[in-house]
Structure 1
Amino acid sequence: MDSILSCMTAGHNIYTINRERKQLFLTHPQLVPHLYKKTTIDSQSDYYARKAAYLAKHGYTEGLNHQYDGTITPAMVKDSIANLRQLVFEVTDACNLRCKYCGYGELYSDHDERHAQKMQFSTAKKTIDFLQEVWKDSKQEFTIKNIFISFYGGEPLLNMPFIRQVIEYVESLHIANRTIDYSMTTNAMLLDKYMDYLAEKKFHLLISLDGNKWNNSYRVTPGGESSFERNVANVDKLKERYPDYFEQYVNFNAVLHNRSTVDEVYHFIKDRYGKKPQITALNTTGIRPEKKDEFNRMFRNVDLKESENYEALLDEMFMKSPEYYGACLFLQQYNKNVYRSYNDLFASEKALNFIPTGGCVPFSRKMFITVNGKILACERIGQQYGLGTAFPDDDIELSYQSIADLYNNYFDKLRAQCKVCYMSQSCIQCMFNIDRFDSLEKVACPGFANKEKFGAYVSQKVSFIEQHPESYERVMEVVLA
């Protein structure tokens, strides 16, 4: 693989990127061919040959020879739990809606059967007690750690007694060196009954609402009736009764589909509630083969360019837009002016041995406990990928060694591709979101990029920054600062 790559932007400017050293520089067309030759400063009289030799001497054209044979160890798994950011309980698999595109509905197969079960408090207590023991016996990255305890469903408000018990228990523990916040994803159908408690405990609420009545028409009751009127009436009531809480703690998630556009969804929620919604596409993994045609009819990409007021919408949405979000990721990965900590200021460039894919070390971000007692690394992946169990009447079963072995076996399916993938330094591909990943011996990673695909990626991101020169400063100062 070449250490450097030169590509042209939409503005007909050429940039050369050294992806391993995080170097990106504007390049004169006459310089480009010399960058790929072995030259010395004294051996050539041509200006661009001498410039290329100078760049080569100072490391601009050579890589670091990173490797992708890294593995996860049991100690890494335990350390991730010691620094857990979010504990998510699947409070119930019951729901008072039957959304047509639901990830636990008839379109998808990668979840356990739903039986309107409710999680028992003893399961949550055992999990919290287990985590406390790990926290006492492990190193912590920061003096004070903020942790979210999150409630998920189904519709979590259908099991409100469980939620109250968990919070009461957590608040009785006085956990040292950690602050606990609460969050919930809800369809708002029962919000009128419990908003006082949610506001009192300062829950971070993510409300599911797809926009206006037509946009929201896939979100129906078990009887097929619209949920829109009740949903917005409850949200209106929350906003009116607790305006300060609403302003600080409430946000919205909208799913885009063939009955909505980004423009419609964004402006409905922004105009009515003063909030910039998170807009996501339908989940593309785990689709039942017989449902693919139905899924394809519903699916729509989150594409702001379909809007008549693209530039205005782009400016308003900022990091909620795919363009700004993508630019931010690009700058994080390939801009030497980005430092994650003060330690990075003193880090020397050297070859590293990376763990394949762009996924996370298990539990480095979340721990998800299903209503059936499975322990997963995230609520967004198929429930066939359980890593342990948490049952009401048994001890927590979680083997660090078994988890490390399982992940390393998974990585072996992708390791060869990662070694020759030009996106390996900026990969965001979760291996669990590769369709049929669990059942195939060899898989084709959808995030894989050869030289041409990576060049197109760099060109697209730099072109956006060129066309929106304020975006660099905005991302660097507002997001990455």
Structure 2
Amino acid sequence: MNMCQPFIYTFQTRLHHYAYDVNTNLILRIKEEAYHFLNSHSSFDLDQMEATPELQHYIRDLLDNGFLSSQRPQIMNHPKTKHLEHMLQHQLKTLTLQVTQNCNLRCSYCVYSGGYDNRGHTSLMMDFETARKCIDFVIDRSVDSDRLDFGFYGGEPLINFPLVKKCVEYIKEQVAYRDVGFHLTTNGTLLNDDILAFLDEHRFVLTISLDGDQENHDRNRRFAVNGRGTFDTIIANVDKIKRNYPDLFEWINFNVVLDTRNDFGCINDFYTNYETFESLYSVRSSYINDAYVKDEILYRNEFIEQRGYEVVKMMLSKFGRVDENHVSKLIKDYYIQMYFRMFHYRKPSAGMPIEAHHGGPCVPGVQRLFADVHGNLYPCERVSEQSEVVQIGKVDTGFEVDKISQILNVGTITEDACKNCWNFRFCTLCVAVADDLHTLSKEKKLSHCSVVKNDIRHTLLDYCMMNELGYDFSEDTILDFEKA
């Protein structure tokens, strides 16, 4: 028998039929009869295909051109594993310091709210000695990095603003000759003039959480002391930044956490019509975090449909059918994301290597490094501080390279499923979705697969539909075999 098991994913739009070829990382526009054959035959005998002679010839022609290969990765191993020790000693580039575990808000969806497998809010503060050790730790291991970025996180980091200030001054003394950036994630309630002047002087990039209009924002984001909503305080501070610190305002990322119990239209109208945001091109938005959550998050279909309608408007704007000004700022970055996925992740390939790892994991500690108030080290702030599994070291004792290697190669716990998954190259799953606080869980990781695959499926459909309608992406990797 001459069996073929194409490593592909088939999908169709209203106009055409496609196969995403995993080995070549290319999208093929194919004949309808070939689509139905491939869609219903995960494997077939090349010598005894149950197909018309014309279809047999067509399938063989695709194979002769290097497509429909059965090749799959044989060994699950991240290609950067062999360089791990060198990277950890020479290529660190980003450090985020948890300057406090205290917060003046009690947001219902916060990962420290009690609804997640994580610590709660505490009054603990990082001291300067711990911060200095963490800063030195990164600087000493960053000789190959052109730029260093330092971030400040909480709780609410501005509760410990004196430490933020002292850290910035120390960093500038230590690396005066290097390109350095600063970022800070804040709820926006404590931004007084002294703080703003300092942030402006040192060109901070701010991320401020603002979930839309007052009703929708205040549903989740309230003060700890009295339960009162925080919208009025935050919007007054944002207006002040735009009025008095215009350069700082240009570097603010507004982050919207999408709670589907809210009204998407009202959130969208707020960012469209409120005068302060008229110069913003886009606003970051994401659904409530589902990693480590104790109870299932329910998503309201009406909200998702409203968001989908705005995606259609964004796509129409690319053809001049909808004015760019009428495209939701909550959606504009979807096009950037689609472009990145289709052209960054989808570089043409000569074939799937024998030894590979699915997309998703960054190199723990290298791309990002998170230090808690005690100086314990984690891959990033998304993982649970209650978990020993994801703690990758301590500032006083250094990295645990074996543990970092295990996290980098998280795909090994789902190896059989991953080796045969068409989403292998696009997968975004990392240790945060596999950690059950005691071990890396195969079942927990696999439970997230359908969501990730569905997300990429929509991206492929949107990209191909825009291509069909004649949108010029300036570079294109859809191969037309429909008339072959």
TM exceeding 0.5: yes
- How many pairs are equivalent? 443
- Is 1:413 the equivalent of 2:405? no
Residue equivalent to 1:380? 382
TM-fit CA distance, 1:214? 0.3
Do residues 173 (structure 1) and 163 (structure 2) align?
A: no
Which residue does the alignment assign to 1:468?
466
CA distance in structure 2 between the partners assigned to 1:310 and 1:407 by the alignment: 33
SS of residue in 1 equivalent to 2:428 = coil
Could you tell me which runs of 5 or more consecutive residues in structure 1 were left unpaired when the two chains were aligned: 338-346
What are the Cα deviations for residues 411-447 of structure 1, in whole angstroms up to 9, with x where unaligned? 4422232223222121111232236364466425134
Question: Which deviates more, 150-159 or 259-268?
Answer: 259-268
Task: Provide structure 2 residue ranges, at least 5 long, that are not aligned to the other structure.
Answer: 39-43, 318-326, 477-484
SS at match of 1:230: helix
- CA spacing shift, 1:312–1:426, aligned 2, 3 Å: closer
Question: Which residue number in structure 2 is paired with residue 367 of structure 1?
Answer: 369
Q: Mark the CA change 1:160 to 1:300 in structure 2 (over 3 Å): closer, same or farther.
A: farther
Deviation at 1:397, TM superposition (A): 2.9
Say whether the 8 Å CA contact 1:413–1:443 is kept in structure 2: no
Mapped to 2, the partners of 1:52 and 1:351 lie a distance apart of 23
State the TM-score, normalizing by the size of structure 1: 0.80
Give the structure 2 partner of residue 267 of structure 1: 269
Name 1:59's counterpart in structure 2.
66
Residues 434, 442 of structure 2: 8 Å contact kept:
no
Counterpart Cα distance in 2 of 1:458 and 1:407? 22
Cα distance in 1 for partners of 2:397, 2:176 equals 20
Q: Which amino acid aligns with 2:398?
A: E
Would you say 1:443 and 2:443 are equivalent positions? Answer: yes
Distance between the aligned counterparts of 2:465 and 2:391, measured in 1?
45
Report sequence identity in percent: 23
Separation (CA, whole Å) in 1 of partners of 2:366 and 2:328: 29
Contact 2:77 2:356 in 1 (8 A): yes
Superposition CA RMSD, Å: 3.5
Counterparts in 2 of 1:472 and 1:204: CA distance versus 1, 3 Å: farther
Output the CA distance in 1 between the equivalents of 2:108 and 2:394.
30
User: 1:145-165, CA deviations, whole angstroms, 9 ceiling, x for partnerless residues?
Assistant: 222211111111111111111
Q: Distance in 2 between matches of 1:463 and 1:73?
A: 34
Aligned counterpart, 1:132: 139
Question: Is the 1:15–1:27 Cα contact (8 Å) retained in structure 2?
Answer: yes
- CA shift, 1:210, in A, is 0.8
1:67-126 CA distance string (max 9 Å, x none): 34215647415405633342101111111111122111122222x343211111111211
Secondary structure, counterpart of 2:125 in structure 1 = coil
Partners of 1:431 and 1:437 within 8 A in 2: no
Q: Which amino acid aligns with 2:461?
A: S
Alignment partner, residue 104 of structure 1: 112
Q: How far apart, in 2, do the equivalents of 1:25 and 1:429 lie? A: 26
Secondary structure of the residue that 2:181 maps to in structure 1? Answer: strand
Distance 1:175 1:301, change over 3 A: farther
Taking a change above 3 Å as real, the CA distance of residues 185 and 405 of structure 1, as seen in their structure-2 partners, is closer
Structure 2 distance, partners of 1:382, 1:260, is 27
Q: Which residue number in structure 2 is paired with residue 159 of structure 1?
A: 160
Paired position in structure 1 for 2:212: 211
Spell out, residue by residue over 1:174-213, the C-alpha distance to the aligned partner (whole angstroms, 9 max, x if none). Answer: 365x411001111111112311111111100111111111
Residue 86 of structure 1 corresponds to which residue in structure 2?
94
Question: Where does residue 343 of structure 1 map in the other structure?
Answer: none
User: d(CA) in 2 for partners of 1:349 and 1:231?
Assistant: 51
1:389 partner letter: K
Aligned pairs for 1:107-118 (under 5 A) are: 107-110=115-118, 112-118=119-125
The one-letter code of the counterpart of 1:99 is: C
Mark the CA change 1:301 to 1:58 in structure 2 (over 3 Å): closer, same or farther: same
Whether contact under 8 Å (1:73, 1:401) holds in the other structure is no
Residue-by-residue CA offset, 1:290-315 (whole Å, 9 max, x unaligned):
xx37x54x878973645766633665
The correspondence of residues 416-427 of structure 1 with structure 2, limited to 5 A, is 416-427=416-427
Aligned counterpart for 1:27 among listed residues 12, 30, 52: 30
Offset from partner CA, 1:277-301 (integer Å, 9 cap, x none): 211111112233xxx37x54x8789
Once the 2 structures are TM-superposed, how far is the Cα of residue 24 of structure 1 from its aligned partner? 1.4
Aligned to 2:189: 189
* Structure 2 letter corresponding to 1:369: A
Distance 1:27 1:214, change over 3 A: same
Mapped contact 2:283–2:330 kept (Cα < 8 A): no
Match of 1:404 in 2: 405
Matching residue's letter, 2:103: C
The answer to whether the 8 Å contact 1:282/1:299 transfers is: no
* Aligned twin of 1:341: none
Q: Which whole-Å CA distance do the structure 1 matches of 2:199 and 2:18 have between them? A: 51
CA distance in 2, matches of 1:174, 1:115: 33
Q: How does 1:181-260 map to 2 (within 5 A)?
A: 181-193=181-193, 194-217=195-218, 218-222=220-224, 223-247=226-250, 249-260=251-262
SS of the counterpart of 1:303?
A: helix
Q: Secondary structure at the match of 2:365?
A: coil
* Contact persistence 2:285–2:330 (CA under 8 A): no
Change (3 A) 1:471 1:462: farther
* Secondary structure class of the residue paired with 2:399: coil
Q: Deviation digits for residues 329-373 of structure 1, max 9, x if unmatched? A: 541367446xxxxxxxxx854624113562222123200001132
State the alpha-carbon separation in 2 of the partners of residues 308 and 135 from structure 1: 45
CA distances 1:435-465 after superposition (whole Å, capped 9, x unpaired): 6364466425134469xx96x7776434323
For 2:147, what is the secondary structure of its paired residue?
Answer: strand
1:5 to 8, 13, 19: 8
Please give the secondary structure, in 1, of the residue aligned with 2:417.
helix
Distance 1:325 1:179 in 2: 26
Hey, what's the Cα distance between the residues in 2 that align with 1:420 and 1:266? 40
Per mean C-alpha deviation after superposition, the further-off stretch among 225-234 and 2-11 is: 2-11
Query: Which residue number corresponds to residue 482 of structure 2?
Result: none
For residues 402 and 8 of structure 1, the distance between their equivalents in structure 2, rounded to whole angstroms, comes to 39
Which whole-Å deviations, capped at 9, do the CAs of 1:16-38 have from their partners, x for residues lacking one? 22112112111112445787663
